[in-house]
Amino acid sequence: MNIAAGHILVLRFSAMGDVAMTVPVIKELLQQHPNLRITYVSRPGFAAFFNGIERLTFVPADFKATYKGVTGSYQLFKKLTELCKYDAVANLHNNLRSNIIQALFQFAGVKGRRIDKDRAAKKRLTRFPNKVLKQLTPTTERYAEVFRQLGLSLTLFHQLVKQDLSSEAISNFEAKSGHWVGIAPFAQHQGKIYPLGRMEQVVQILNQAGIKLFIFGGLAEEKAVADDWEEKYQHVTSMVKRIGLQQELELIARLDLMVAMDSAGMHMASMQGVPVVSVWGATHHFAGFLGYGQSEANIVADSIECRPCSVYGNKPCFRDDYACLYNIAPQTIANRVLAKLKEL
């Protein structure tokens, strides 16, 4: 059959930023193939990423309870086969769970392809000494290549596309005046987090400039930091644990700019077509994780020779000082934000 008029099962279970990165790719794919249908399987908490995407069905999979372990993977396979008949499986995760499910479909006669993460090249990029510091294939292109291998043409344009909001969504927030800037200062690993004391200095500078600032995060300890900044600074509003993911995405779509680490905040802004001033520490955009459509000109990073030392920022700093982050002055980040706002 013509795969472009078929039904593709897409697997990508985590992490939040990685799932968010798939969204622009999926949208481009569906736009370029108007008869294609997609069933997307991921964790329940990511469902809002896919709201409103025509010809896409989101299937939530709770891997901590319902689909736990190898037995759970088989149970998920059985559920998926009961829901629909698929023409191919696009494995955008390539971990044990997604590979088991892909293999089960393969045995059932459904072809599949999986993402090539090229771990060897990433190891060369992050080793020290003898680092090979060169741009690797963007992760979004690695996602796209899976669909190409299944027989679907796909061109990624790597442009920010501003997302339209309904009048109802706009009415959920205050009337906008002046510049609105989001700040997502948190990340899963320390090697990605600009020291919060210094990020507060960035907040202070931008607050003094009269810019409306929204702080994004998710954990209880992040809420404590964001609430403290809200109390201290006139133009700061903490959004941590105050709204759900859908409303968070709607608010991000109204921003003029986001300041984020190499983390989910950057990719959520990219989904909504919002430019990002991204701050990088132990990681590097050469590994392929720059937000979709984002400009390298908006990257703030230090050029210390041991950087990057990690693909995901999860390795302890062998210097024990995280100089890659501490070498960045708060004023440098603030200046980049102010300069970008003047361009808009």
Q: Which of 6-15, 134-143, 174-183, 189-198 has the lowest mean pLDDT?
A: 174-183
Strand 299-301 with 276-280, pairing: parallel
% of the chain exceeding 70 in pLDDT: 100
pLDDT value of position 271: 97
pLDDT exceeds 80 at position 19 = yes
pLDDT exceeds 90 at position 164 = no
pLDDT exceeds 70 at position 1 = no
Helix 245-254 with 264-271: angle, nearest 10 deg: 70
Cα–Cα distance between 323 and 328 in angstroms, integer? 8
User: What's 243's DSSP letter?
Assistant: S
Cα–Cα distance between 314 and 72 in angstroms, integer? 28
Domain ranges of the chain: 3-149, 175-343
Cα–Cα distance between 110 and 268 in angstroms, integer? 32
pLDDT value of position 174: 84
Contact call for residues 270 and 293 (beta carbons, < 8 A):
yes
Per the omega criterion (within 30 degrees of 0), is the bond before 60 cis?
no
Sheet holding 112-114, edge to edge: 56-60, 37-42, 7-11, 88-91, 112-114
pLDDT exceeds 80 at position 333 = yes
Q: What is the CATH code for 3-149?
A: 3.40.50.2000
| pLDDT mean across residues, the chain | 97
Amino acid identity of residue 298, one-letter, is N
Rounded to an integer, the average pLDDT of 17-41 is: 98
What would the two tokens of residue 164 be?
Answer: 């339209």
Cα–Cα distance between 143 and 220 in angstroms, integer? 33
Confidence label for 166 from pLDDT (cuts 50, 70 and 90): confident
pLDDT value of position 170: 80
pLDDT exceeds 70 at position 232 = yes
pLDDT exceeds 70 at position 152 = yes
Confidence label for 50 from pLDDT (cuts 50, 70 and 90): very high
pLDDT exceeds 90 at position 165 = no
Confidence label for 304 from pLDDT (cuts 50, 70 and 90): very high
Give 119-139 pLDDT, tens digit per residue: 999 999 999 999 999 999 999
Q: Which of 39-48, 168-177, 224-233, 323-332 has the lowest mean pLDDT?
A: 168-177
Contacts of 119 (CB under 8 A, 6+ apart): none
Rounded to an integer, the average pLDDT of 155-184 is: 90
Contacts of 336 (CB under 8 A, 6+ apart): 277, 298, 300
Find, among 126, 45, 92, the residue nearest to 307 by Cα: 126
**Topology, domain 175-343:** Rossmann fold (3.40.50)
Chain length of the chain: 344
Rounded to an integer, the average pLDDT of 170-177 is: 84
Please give the C-alpha separations between residue 199 and each of 180, 195, 219, 308, in angstroms, as whole numbers. Answer: 17, 6, 17, 21
The dihedral through the CA atoms of 188, 291, 344, 246 has a sign that is: negative
pLDDT value of position 168: 78
What would the two tokens of residue 57 be?
Answer: 């069905």
Cα–Cα distance between 311 and 289 in angstroms, integer? 9
What count of other Cβ atoms lies within 10 Å of the Cβ of residue 43?
A: 17
3-149 against 175-343: fold identical: yes
Q: Is 2 left (phi over 0), alpha (psi -120 to 50) or beta?
A: beta
Cα–Cα distance between 113 and 340 in angstroms, integer? 40
Contact call for residues 282 and 308 (beta carbons, < 8 A):
yes
